[in-house]
Every structure is written in structure tokens, then in C-alpha cells.
Amino acid sequence: MSKLMVGIIFICLVSFFYIGSLIFVLIKINKLKKIEKTRFFKNKQLLITFYILSYLITPVLLGLLVGLITYIASLDSNNIPDSYFYGFQASYLIYVIYVLAIILIGTKLYKTMYIVEANNCYYFLDNVVISKENIVTITNNLKRSYLIISYNNNNFREAYQLKYSWKLKDFFDEK
């Protein structure tokens, strides 16, 4: 039964971490939507994928795990075969790896979900604000996997990387 408790605790911790990061991204999107904007960039495919993963697939996986936990807990604790515990451990490890992959991949991609241009500045989801006058160049790397914005910030040149999209490149080219 201790194997079951460790799994439950681990699932709860990862789920709270995931829900916290989901709320963080949704709050940032709502803040950007409230800004009085001249124009904006919305990556519809990425937003749809984000909503499907957040509101459809993850709750289904969590619901299946909760069902498995209640089924194993309802059995007599002395007669539970080890195969049930192995199945539970495999399923909660898959859930944990899935959630951590979503969080890690999402941190690279969520910056390009919603970008606002207002007050002659670009506002991004991770609280980065780049003034249009300070932008030196907007280029991409050779493989076109990242869009790199070079800009001056307090007499220092900084670079900001975004996941490449030709629509995003066109958005920045329109000035």
C-alpha cells in the first residue's frame, strides 16, 4: 500500500505544478488581451493544441489514474497482486513524464502564442517588452527553428529568441 501512497503524492505534486503553470499562462494571455493594441499576433494552431492538451487530454489521463487508484484502494490490501501495482506505477510514470514534457516543451513555445503591438512596443507572454525603436535586427537561424530579435536595452545589445513561424516573421516585418 505504500507504493500506492507514493504514487498518489507524486501525481498530486506534478498535477499542482501543472495547474500552476497553466494558470500562469492563462493569466498572461488575459493580461495581453486587455492591453489596448494596435495589432496582435495569435498563433491559432498553437493555441488550439494548447487548449486540447490542457482541457481534454490531461484531465482524461488524470481521471483514468484516479479511477485506477480507487479501484486498487477498494480491493483487499492483503490480496492485491503485484501486477496491479506495476500497472499503477507504469501509468503514473507515463502521466508524470507526459506532464513534465508538456511543461518543458510549452516553455519554449508559449512565448509565440500571443504577441501584442501597442504603444510602439511589442509585448510577449513572458513579460518581455521590446520597443520598436530599440530593435536592431530580426533574423532567423540557418535551420529556421528560431526567430532572433536583437535589440538595445540600456546600452547593451540583447537577443530574444522565439520559435520560428513564417507568419510571425511576416508580423515583425510589417512595420
The residue type found at 29 is: I
pLDDT tens digits, 28-51: 999 999 998 889 999 999 889 988
* CA atoms of 50 and 28, how far apart (whole Å): 14
Over the chain, what HEC string results?
A: CHHHHHHHHHHHHHHHHHHHHHHHHHHHHHHHHHCCCCEEEECHHHHHHHHHHHHHHHHHHHHHHHHHHHHHHHCCCCCCCHHHHHHHHHHHHHHHHHHHHHHHHHHHHHHHCEEEEECCEEECCCCCEEEHHHEEEEEECCCCCEEEEEEEECCEEEEEEEECCHHHHHHHHCC
Task: Between 137 and 85, name the one with better pLDDT.
Answer: 137
Residue 151, pLDDT score: 94
Residue 10, pLDDT score: 86
Which residues, in sequence order, are CB contacts of 144 under 8 Å at separation 6+? 164
pTM for this one?
A: 0.80
* CA atoms of 159 and 143, how far apart (whole Å): 17
pLDDT tens digits, 129-138: 999 999 999 9
Q: Is residue 107 over pLDDT 90?
A: no
* CA atoms of 21 and 16, how far apart (whole Å): 9
| pLDDT, average across residues 71-97 | 81
